[in-house]
Amino acid sequence: SETMKLLAPLAGALDHAHRQGVIHRDVKPSNVLLTAAGEPVLCDFCIAQILQQSPSFTRTGAAVGTPEYMAPEQARGDAVDHRSDLFSLGSVLFAMCAGRTPFAAASTRAIISSVAEAVTDDVSELAPDTPGWLVELIERLHAENPAERYQSAGDVARVLREELLKMRGLTRTRGPVRSEPDSPPGHPSPARSHARPTFGGVLGWLR
């Protein structure tokens, strides 16, 4: 459950970035730190894409990011959007459960080939204790087609919060998980403006 406490805030931080119109493009364990209070913070926006500069997608033709945590469209050098970060988030969750990347290969070229085809290892085989709902969440984040993934990091955060409440034996009436208003990436929700996650810079227990 200690690991579970990190997941929803991490997804929430990514959601906040997307709502500000920022695609991170390099979501991986080494770009997450823990504060003294144990809260995860997302860092290293050096290769982030600002959507206001390119309203819909990033440019094509160049694979930018860390091979083991890229989305398939990144590995192919295709256009990416905020859902590419969600694939990478799925790879981070996989690594948190299994202790290793979902893409095992002998060379960088082989890794990129596996990522481009979305050929991931089975987290339930590597880490049999992973809850079924988390296996399903990771598998959905790892859909090759972005349209088949969760469509926002906020959706992922809500699922994680709800499951954490269940693990703690709490009901929604005692610990409500409010639905947040929908707003597209680049258009912050007024309801969230008073509580913005802090971005900072590795999960010390996983590199």
Active site residues: 26
Joined together, the tokens standing for residue 143 give: 């859909």
Beta bridge partners of 23: 49
Q: Is there a contact between 91 and 137 (Cβ–Cβ < 8 Å)?
A: no
How big is the chain, counted in residues? 207
**Collapsing DSSP states into helix, strand and coil, what is residue 50?**
strand
Which residues 6+ apart lie within 8 Å of 47 measured at CB? 25, 26, 64, 65
